[in-house]
Amino acid sequence: MERIKTGVYGLDETINGGFPKESITLVSGPPGSGKSIFAYQFINRGLKEGERCLLISLDRKERKILMQAEEMNFAFKNAVEEGKLRIFYVDVNKRYIYEEIIREITSGAYDRIVIDPITPLAETPFYVKDITLSDDINFIDAEDFSIMNEDIPLKRLHLRYIMDAIESTGCTAVITSEASFDSSGASRDTISEFLADGVIFLNFDPAMDRRKLTVLKMRNTRHTLKTQNIVINNDGIQLMK
């Protein structure tokens, strides 16, 4: 199986060389655990490999992303100017954001895609007016909404809709999700972890002044469940040996 380098120092060695190609990996954790940094490292590695990348942001505009990338010595600005990286900010307060996201995902011939974070999409009203974007995506019939009630897992429907679009492109993706410190699931929506091919949980122990990374799930990959100590510096996340 072909593997895609993660860009996170020391991680590839623990998951047989990288993410399985065409997989979707959830990176989750509480605030400040390094989720966005992980996602930027994944994009940065793709750019170094000459790949075309898409970064969909639902909470930070392009200017702030480029500023953080510059601090980490990631050449995102040059990549944007050269057309190798597309940073797509989505305002979740607008209607038809799913349509905008699907169109961007399916029309760009991207090798790597990041959605940072996917959490708001699970909590956003679902508006679709164009259901002819792709034959490979299972769209929801508008009539179905008239029979939906609180027993129907709407969050799963929202997330499945986006993941189907990603899978239809044949790219490799990382999606990030918020998680509370006392969450019963690996994500705030408690659904993403079941839909994704891989799950990486980032956390920290303030009492011990340590940051941690755990690979909870990675399909078609032998990996340890042991929590790994990590550090975050100007180069990003790095597993400690």
Give the pLDDT of residue 23. 97
Q: Which domain holds residue 21?
A: 3-239
Indicate whether 128 pLDDT > 90. Answer: no
Q: What is the DSSP letter of 139?
A: P
Global pTM reads: 0.86
Residue 181 · residue 187 · CB < 8 Å: no
C-alpha to C-alpha distances, 227 to 15, 156, 214, 230, nearest whole angstrom: 13, 28, 5, 9
Structural domain count, the chain = 1
Could you tell me which residue, 150 or 174, shows the higher pLDDT?
A: 174
Could you tell me which residue, 125 or 50, shows the higher pLDDT?
A: 50
Indicate whether 73 pLDDT > 70. Answer: yes
Indicate whether 122 pLDDT > 60. Answer: yes
For Cα atoms 229, 231, 233, give the angle at the middle one, nearest 5 degrees: 170
Indicate whether 168 pLDDT > 50. Answer: yes
Can you tell me the mean pLDDT for 203-225? 91
**Domain CATH for 105:** 3.40.50.300
Q: What is the mean pLDDT of the chain?
A: 85
Give the pLDDT of residue 213. 96
Place of tokens 């996917």: 118
Can you tell me the mean pLDDT for 144-153? 43
Q: pLDDT band at residue 158, thresholds of 50, 70 and 90? A: confident
Can you tell me the mean pLDDT for 40-67? 96
Indicate whether 83 pLDDT > 70. Answer: yes
Give the pLDDT of residue 144. 45
Q: Among residues 121, 75, 77, which one has the least CA distance to residue 99?
A: 121
- For the chain, counts of helices (H) and of strands (E): 7, 11
